[in-house]
Structure 1
Amino acid sequence: MSEKPTSIDDYLAPLAPEVRAELERIRALVTGLVPEVEESISYGMPTLSYRGRALVYFTASKKHMSFYPSSWAIEELGDRLADYPTTQHAIRFTLENPLPDDLIEDLVRAHRRDIDADRR
């Protein structure tokens, strides 16, 4: 990407079709679960925000994609993330080893619950 994207669609447009489809799947899952999310680009990443706070970010890199729910959600569901490299804030995955729908949904539900409780 030579120009910085100003929307999620701008971010996704230049990606390989299969990578774009995978990130669109995640976008659709999250927006289906939390229809009131607002879309933006924050820190150069596609961001879905809820109640004025980032609910999730997602990105594509050369060798993997990343999903950023919250460190609390990652910690809470860590036992289900054994097949994925994680950092405190991110879960890395590939087209060959994508995140399952139910796992994404549970990560989003966990972070939404924390936002609703005003956890900081």
Structure 2
Amino acid sequence: MDGNNFESIDDYISLFPPEVQERLETLRKVIKEAAPDAQERINYQMPTFVLHGNLVHFAAYKKHIGFYPAPSGIAAFKQELSVYKGAKGSVQFPLEKPLPYELISRIVKFRAAENIEQAAAKLNKKK
């Protein structure tokens, strides 16, 4: 997939096998429901949701779906995410296991609240 320039999340998802497309579409729906005001974009060649800045990214790989809710999103749910491989700002959900959509929804809601709070704080500083 390196070298592809995606115009939309639909373009990105269309490149994967049907069973992966289905998971990516469900993930997209879960994110939209958790943060209905977020805008869809492609950033870093990944599907991205933006709400007062980057909210979350996701990407499909050969054996997993990467989910990138920023370091704060990982830290806040560290215990629940400990069963997955991950790093400071990312987690890997293996393709052979069901995605934890309820957990993902809570992470997205946490990140949305965090971004809204940070945007409000910046606005108040300007006053």
Equivalent runs, 1:54-73 vs 2, <5 Å: 54-73=54-73
Q: TM-score, normalised by structure 2?
A: 0.86
RMSD: 1.7
Code of the aligned partner of 1:69: P
Cross-structure match for 1:103: 103
Distance in 2 between residues matched to 1:110 and 1:66, nearest whole Å: 18
Cross-structure match for 1:12: 13
Distance in 1 between residues matched to 2:104 and 2:69, nearest whole Å: 9
Three-state SS of the structure 2 residue aligned to 1:118 is helix
Three-state SS of the structure 2 residue aligned to 1:96 is coil
Question: Can you give the 5+ residue segments of structure 1 that lack an aligned partner in the other structure?
Answer: none
Distance in 1 between residues matched to 2:79 and 2:54, nearest whole Å: 24
* Identity percentage of aligned residues: 34
Question: Can you give the 5+ residue segments of structure 2 that lack an aligned partner in the other structure?
Answer: 123-127
Distance in 1 between residues matched to 2:99 and 2:76, nearest whole Å: 16
| Higher gyration radius (CA) | 2
Distance in 2 between residues matched to 1:113 and 1:55, nearest whole Å: 10
Distance in 1 between residues matched to 2:98 and 2:49, nearest whole Å: 19
The structure in which a higher percent of residues are helix is: 2
Q: TM-score, normalised by structure 1?
A: 0.90
For residue 99 of structure 1, report the CA deviation from its aligned partner.
2.9
Equivalent runs, 1:1-120 vs 2, <5 Å: 1=1, 3-51=4-52, 53-118=53-118
Tell me the number of residue pairs that the alignment of Structure 1 and Structure 2 aligns: 119
Distance in 1 between residues matched to 2:104 and 2:27, nearest whole Å: 8
Three-state SS of the structure 1 residue aligned to 2:86 is coil
